[in-house]
Amino acid sequence: MARTVLELHLRVRGEDDKDHYANKRLKLAGDLMEDLFRVAFSLLLKDLKYQLERSFARKKDLRIASAIRPDLLTQRLVHALATGNWVGGRSGVSQVLDRTSHMSAISHLRRVTSPLTRTQPHFEARDLHPTQWGRLCPNETPEGQNCGLVKNYALSVDVSEGTDEEEVGILLRDLNTREIGPEVFEEAKAPKGRRAARVYLNGNLLGLHSNPVGLVREIRERRRSGTLSPTLGDKTYEVNVRYDEEMNEVIVHCDSGRLRRPLIVVQNGASKIAHSDREEIARGSLTFSDLIRQGKVEWIDAEEEEDSLIAIEPFDAPARCPHCERALSRTDLVYPADAAASDRGLRSCRFCQGEIPTTPRLTTKHTHLEIEPNLILGVATGLIPFPENNAAARNTLGAAMAKQALGVESVNYRRRPDTRGHLLHYPQAPLLRTETMRYVHFTERPAGQNFVVAVLSYEGYNMQDALVFSKGAIDRGLGRSSFFRTYRGEERKYPGGQEDRFEIPRPDVAGARVDTAYRNLAE
């Protein structure tokens, strides 16, 4: 830390970007509950010590069962979960899950909240950061003072759980990382190109290495083959490494809370996912976990991404098919069944099945390839058809409206004791569907209906945002929904023989309604 400050003062090193996601860590529900339990349990131990000392001072029998007050632990946990007020002065940590619709519940579970105060501008924190690409949705954020401070996961993001730092440290020492000793001063006097690189593990200086490029290459090869360390198991794939050539530093991260995203590995200008792999994926015999274990797909965090060159698409598609002259997008090109033709860059038109030559984008300098460009979006934004043709503000509005569309919130809604709930009587699958809808099974749990809409002047009846509906469509159930609310009551007995009972009141009871108000109730 002291060296970094001195290098910054001498202008050898630039300022760190506090909004860079390599410098940020997420606290998940388990981490937050751990903080809460640690504080509550320490208070319980202090109270237990006080009770035992008081009993000893009064010369009473020491009994642990009577000295422990379990309500101290329970009330602290329940109060924090009920109010959202957490340790450290944070508020709004726990929230009631939004079950307006199935999509709103999924979106709420994937929400990321910044601890920054909402009353301050925080322009840099609210703006989109380049390292947010593929990790957080660029459009799904609320309007108003929470704009940019409340974000949502992208579709393919993963949060690291953390790996044993000691095991990774042993691995780095086995790979000839030497500890810092008196020779470090001699290293500092050496020419810049001959100095040993400093190796950092989770921000702590571990040692020096004379071949940083070889060290990084060795770690990546072992990670992709799953042989990084026999004791780490699946945690092997959570280790990320990068060589900062400018500062001559090897940065290794294996801690928890890092946002990572999957990318296809590119080697010698070609994707490691071959034609045979695509056929196995289509048959269902090859899973995503298999691709990770085979080293063809790997998880990359924001730090390692700084040392990567990522291609968005593997080839350039022509604007129109030369055979049927229909406009083409990348999804309209189909990989041919012949592996040799696929390797030569030939694709087939989805409409006329004609062969189309494509121009490859991958070069020998590329290190990775995007799995799918639309994975940069979140769940709600992914429901918008053709979002690239909309203004950014309209996509943000569309994501908010998609979460408010009513549907079937849960299949067991009749048995759920939710405080409130909505049910659309006739939900319909959308006519135009996106890939994200297939990922989240939106057509199986749809929200909203397909309205037939006309934009007319209609003699001024539709001023501004007014709507004119067909009465026949309303009578047939257009947009009809039910609202459920759960009420709570208790039957109590009082002195003198009076008691509460749940029943239909007699007509002479004060406050009783007409008979038609109770016609749907049993006796």
> So which residues are the catalytic ones?
465
CB 263 within 8 A of CB 272: no
- Cα 126 vs. chain centroid, distance in angstroms? 18
- Beta-strand pair 310-311/368-369: parallel
- Quote the CA–CA distance of 513 and 521 in Å, as a whole number: 13
Give the DSSP letter of residue 178.
B
Q: DSSP string spanning 148-162?
A: TTEEEB-TT-EE---
Structure tokens given for 235:
């945690």
Handedness of CA 375, 378, 384, 387 (dihedral sign): negative
Quick one: CA torsion of 408, 409, 414, 419, rounded to 10 degrees?
-140
Closest residue by Cα to residue 144 from 397, 401, 383:
397
- Quote the CA–CA distance of 315 and 321 in Å, as a whole number: 15
- Alpha helices by DSSP H, 313-406: 339-343, 392-404
CB 178 within 8 A of CB 199: no
3-state secondary structure of 501: coil
Query: How close are the terminal C-alpha atoms of the chain, in Å?
Result: 75
CB 229 within 8 A of CB 219: no
- Alpha helices by DSSP H, 226-327: 275-283, 288-293, 302-305
Give the DSSP letter of residue 509.
S
CB 177 within 8 A of CB 209: yes
